[in-house]
A and B are shown apart, each in its own frame.
Chain A
Amino acid sequence: MPAPLHLDHPEHHGGHACLWVALLPLALFSALAWGVLHHELPWQGEVAWVPSLGVSLAFRIDGLSAQMLALITGIGTLVFVYASGYLAHEARRGRLLGVLLLFMLAMIGAVTADNLIVLFLFWELTSLSSFLLVGFKHDDAHARASARQALLVTMGGGLALLGGFVLLARMAGTWSLSGVQAAAPAIMHDPLLPLAVVLVMIGAFTKSAQFPFHFWLPNAMSAPTPVSAYLHSATMVKLGIYLLARFDASFNDLPLWESTLITVGTITAVWGAVLALRERDLKRILARTTVSALGTLTLLIGLSTPGAGLAVAAFLFAHALYKAPLFMVAGNIDHATGTRSIDHLMGLRHAMPWTAAVAILAGLSMAGLPLSFGFVAKDVMAVAKAEAELFALASYALVLVNAIAVAVAGVAAIRVFWGPPEWPRGKVHEAHWTMLAPPLLIVLLGLEFELIPNVANPLLLAAAQSISPALGQVDLQATHDLATLLSTSGIAVGIGLLLFVFWDHLHEVLHRQHWLDRYGPAALYEALLHGLARLAAWHTRAIQHGGLTGYLRLMLAALLAMGSFGWLLTVPALQLEWQWAPQGWAWLAACVLIATGALAAVSLRDRLAVLMASGLIGYGSAVLFLFAGAPDLAFTQFMVETALVVVAASLLPQFVGAAPSPARRRWRATDLALAVAAGLGCFVLLTQLAGLTPDTQLADWFAANSLPEGRGRNVVNVIIVDFRALDTLGEIAVVAFSLLAAMPLLAGLRGDRQP
């Protein structure tokens, strides 16, 4: 049954309102084309940015960068044209186009950067703009969740990437990308290299949606179609591939690098392709095959033969040239009918002939059939795989992947457009020219590359040589040889046709596998996200419970733990000596006073008694000061202690009696343990302190300069009022202002006495 039509879509008047925006990528593309024709690659430039850290705005454009730039600006131009039509009735199109432009500039920066930090910054900027674009329909909860998922996965990978970059830079001694590449042979046996390589690979895998990080890409299809065509098929998801290709020449000798890329690439290719069969949404089907194609690219990079570089470059290009138009086709259908479900789409060829033509041409390329650039790419890939003596399993897997690609091409190009028309005549209209010309141009470009390979060859060869420097001068020629065709593509096409015919049955079978939804990496992601929130809630309740004594216990325990850790790192020393000086008896008396006061304060129940006991500590300290050459201190302490008893005693009636709550008894043992631990910790600290050699530099200076500079004979006083006068000023200010702060409280205490 047909879904309701979007009849509120009027004709596309003013669809080209934002067409001029496409001029910017067009200008960049023209500049690039002119540059490639007139100047030898690579081009480089550098502007100092943070010289002290070795970070500079360094850019370098070689063959690989140039190929990526051609995709970014070339497809970018057409995507902007397409967007001007697609978004003609979108009120917030200015915002979308603005972020899209930002994304384009970030992409350009990322593929040209020759400094790891600069590359990382642009890399993260692409993730950020992708987040904004996926969440463009922010009133839709699903779009928000998808945007957050894309952001968390790619940014999490970005963190890993940063870690890898830092390690690489430390090993190579430079932040320069080409510098790291040059230093690669030297650091090949560094024990940290595997870690750095794994981190970089995680970053690339999240960006390029490799298993097990692939799940964000189909969900990112919540974005408007121009975004899907541009970011999530042609450019951004290729950034991870770009990075892997960039480092491939350096790390290809590493077994870890090679085996991981081949394994992950194969799994991603197969898994993405199989999951495509579970989808009914045209865009999501295409997204699944994009995941599959990215897996194939990763696998190709993992191959160490020289031909692999060429295969990567060719397939990278071919994929962008057929996948972006297919997305635009899906967008046109969505725009015209209001649905993307293949169950409701059939026989659209009469209503949308131009879209159907685009779909067929792009589908041809996707299937890797002759007369398309995809055919050339598949051919080169076959050569590369033959060179590399791939595991048999991976080879079979790739045949399956190709077969499913054929089937999906069939669904997108034939199933939707052929068959009996399901839509009433006249209700569905062909899209505006701004939405037809771009995909048509792109697929025609693909055809032209196939028929006149001389145009594409230089660019692809330059890119391939950046990936595999060992590659000689190879010609990119489609071998229209029936035997090769049959052996490589033939089987795949055959299986693909079978899959296409039995698509609905397969879909039913796969759709019933609900465990796939429950246990996949996507489910793990959801579980982690919810777990994190639950952990935060639990942790907030457990630690920030509002019980002040609990806070104190926690802080004290943490302090003691840190202190013990520090103690473990030092050499234990018991340096205190037992020398009995003449004033020893006075010290003994002082210590007995202090200790008695302390123990009495803890054990007495009456508050006044506690106060008096604490006074003993002060008087004991005063005695100690008196017999340790500090008469000033002794006198001050005597006065303060007396005043304290006066003040505290007059405040005592305010503290109305409250027996310790029952909860307190539970904590008694803990508190006692903490107190003993604190006492022991203090003791250890003091013994350690005594072991240090005192630095008398300051004391000697003050002693020597007190009389000549400060004109005072009491060194303590001269320090207070002259040498450290600013400190003292601050301290008396605190003393005075404490009274100011206490004034309102004192007024409150004096107020209504017995409420």
Chain B
Amino acid sequence: MTPRSALLAFAARPLYWLLLAAALWILLRGHNEPGGGFIGGLVAVAASSLVAIALDTAAARRLQPLAPLPLAMLGVGLAMLSGLAGAATGAPYLTHLWTAWGVSTVMLFDAGVFLAVWGALTGYVYALLADNGQAAQ
């Protein structure tokens, strides 16, 4: 991916935040309109990949809250946890609950999906791009 475009390098960070915001928006609206954790997660992957290509993988990693594998595991963990609340009330595992302000365990579950997809796929992208960069040197 060298030589890198200067314009792309300049626009990478703003675009990243823009895309990430879009990803979160897709995630949040997903329950009522097209969207959801899977799609949101893929958009977030695109955002991270953009930075990784335009700058380098280290920069992309820094912009992520956690390293890819822990992020993915956190996502799976969140999704698993979201089911416990329902189970605690005696209902079957993964029965979802809603509170008064529209916050619900469904949200938590979908966020888990989002993080799992984001973490796992960026893990591949970073590893392969870093490898490729090395190969080009």
Contact = CB atoms under 8 A, between A and B. Distances in A.
B76 A732 contact: yes
A643 B37 contact: no
A743 B128 contact: no
Contacts of A642: 46
B109 A725 contact: yes
Choose among A643, A646, A753 the residue with the greatest number of B CB atoms under 10 Å from its CB.
A646
Interface stretch (A429-437, A550-558, A659-667, A733-741): A733-741
Contact of A732 (B30, B75, B106): B75
B119 A736 contact: yes
Interface stretch (B9-17, B58-66, B110-118): B110-118
Interface string B1-39: 000000000000000000000000000001111111111
A635 interface: yes
A402 to B, nearest CB: 81
B127 A653 contact: no
Main secondary structure of the interface of A (DSSP, over half): helix
A327 B124 CA distance: 79
A736 B72 contact: yes
A728 B113 contact: yes
A714 B75 contact: no
Contacts, number: 146
Nearest to B29: A714
A711 interface: yes
B45 interface: yes
A520 B129 CA distance: 74
A721 B113 contact: yes
A713 B39 contact: no
A599 B12 CA distance: 36
A640 B42 contact: yes
Nearest to B52: A646
B106 A721 contact: yes
A259 interface: no
Contacts of A718: 31
Contacts of B117: 732, 735
Choose among B38, B69, B109 the residue with the greatest number of A CB atoms under 10 Å from its CB.
B38
A729 interface: yes
A749 B134 CA distance: 11
A721 B31 contact: yes
Given A714-B32, A729-B94, A736 B49 contact: no
Contacts of A735: 72, 116-117, 120-121
Contacts of A710: 96, 106
Contacts of A712: 31-32, 106
Contacts of A632: 34-36, 39
Contacts of A738: 120
Nearest to A726: B94
A639 interface: yes
A750 B39 contact: no
A717 interface: yes
B79 A729 contact: yes
Contacts of B125: 643, 646-647
B105 to A, nearest CB: 9
Nearest to B117: A735
Contacts of B36: 632, 714, 716-717, 720-721
Given A632-B36, A639-B45, A721-B31, A739 B123 contact: yes
Contacts of B135: 653, 753
Contacts of A743: 69, 123
Contact of B30 (A643, A717, A728): A717
Contact of A739 (B37, B69, B93, B134): B69
B131 A639 contact: no
Given A643-B45, A721-B113, A736 B75 contact: yes
B116 A732 contact: yes
B108 to A, nearest CB: 10
B35 A722 contact: no
Interface in B71-119: 72-73, 75-76, 79-80, 83, 93-94, 96, 98, 104, 106, 109-110, 112-113, 116-117, 119
Choose among A643, A651, A716, A743 the residue with the greatest number of B CB atoms under 10 Å from its CB.
A643
A479 interface: no
A644 B116 CA distance: 17
Interface residues of A, number: 41
A622 to B, nearest CB: 12
Contact of B38 (A720, A729, A742): A720
Choose among A640, A714, A736, A742 the residue with the greatest number of B CB atoms under 10 Å from its CB.
A736
A652 to B, nearest CB: 9
B110 to A, nearest CB: 5
A371 to B, nearest CB: 86
A709 to B, nearest CB: 9
B75 A643 contact: no
Nearest to B49: A646
A205 to B, nearest CB: 60
A753 B130 CA distance: 12
A639 B35 CA distance: 13
A693 interface: no
A735 B117 CA distance: 7
A739 B117 CA distance: 10
Contacts of A651: 128
Contacts of A653: 132, 135
A636 interface: yes
Contacts of B132: 650, 653
A353 interface: no
Contacts of B54: none
Contact of A639 (B46, B112, B134): B46
A584 interface: no
A742 B124 contact: yes
A631 interface: yes
A710 B46 CA distance: 30
B42 to A, nearest CB: 4
Contacts of A692: none
A644 to B, nearest CB: 10
B43 interface: yes
Given A647-B124, A712-B31, A736-B119, A729 B80 contact: yes
B77 to A, nearest CB: 10
B42 A721 contact: no
B131 A750 contact: yes
A22 B124 CA distance: 76
Nearest to B135: A653
B127 A750 contact: yes
A736 B80 CA distance: 13
A305 B133 CA distance: 98
Given A717-B36, A736-B120, A711 B104 contact: yes
A714 B72 contact: no
B47 to A, nearest CB: 11
Q: Identify the 10 closest CB pairs spanning chains A and B, nearest first.
A: A639-B42, A736-B72, A732-B116, A713-B32, A712-B31, A650-B128, A746-B127, A650-B132, A739-B123, A631-B34
Given A643-B46, A739-B119, A740-B69, 17 more contacts: A710-B96, A713-B31, A714-B33, A717-B30, A717-B36, A725-B96, A725-B109, A729-B94, A732-B76, A735-B117, A736-B75, A736-B76, A736-B116, A738-B120, A739-B72, A739-B120, A746-B124
Interface of B: 30-39, 42-43, 45-46, 49, 53, 68-69, 72-73, 75-76, 79-80, 83, 93-94, 96, 98, 104, 106, 109-110, 112-113, 116-117, 119-121, 123-125, 127-132, 134-135
12 contacts: A639-B45, A643-B121, A653-B132, A714-B34, A721-B109, A726-B93, A732-B76, A732-B116, A736-B73, A736-B120, A739-B69, A739-B120
